[in-house]
A = this chain, B = another copy of it.
């Protein structure tokens, strides 16, 4: 089994265009060794990173935020289980938030449909936990961040 992947191989295996992979490297999301002739050679572990990046992106996280997360992994040494645990904890919160938001949207959409109103005022959807009730009556979006 090959140790290192060419950019073409990484692209095929990850389903991400080569140009995108180069772009990710440029903005510090991926790293690659070079051959004598200056061609990229990726460690197999970069596949994990690409998967992490694309899935995170799919659910609305910016590349900037993804980089921040990935930067918590030390570049100098091989990440320890503790390093990964740290990263995991960070993202668990973020993911939990998103899941909650989505589930609420889905259920409230269903709920609102039930009564035929799609009222985002009466629903918790746009006003979770009535957090903004003291800002006066009426609907108001309560978004994370």
Contact partner of A143 (CB less than 8 A), chosen from B15, B47, B102, B143, is: B15
Interface size counted on chain A using CB atoms at 8 A: 49
Task: Determine how many copies of this chain the complex contains.
Answer: 2
Q: A59-B101, A88-B113, A96-B106 are in contact. List 12 more A-B contacts (CB 8 A).
A: A15-B140, A48-B121, A51-B125, A51-B126, A54-B143, A55-B141, A56-B105, A59-B59, A80-B116, A81-B116, A88-B109, A92-B106
Which residues of A pack against B, CB within 8 Å?
Answer: 13-16, 47-48, 50-52, 54-60, 80-81, 84-85, 88, 91-92, 95-96, 98-99, 101-103, 105-106, 109-110, 112-113, 116, 118-121, 125-126, 138-141, 143-144
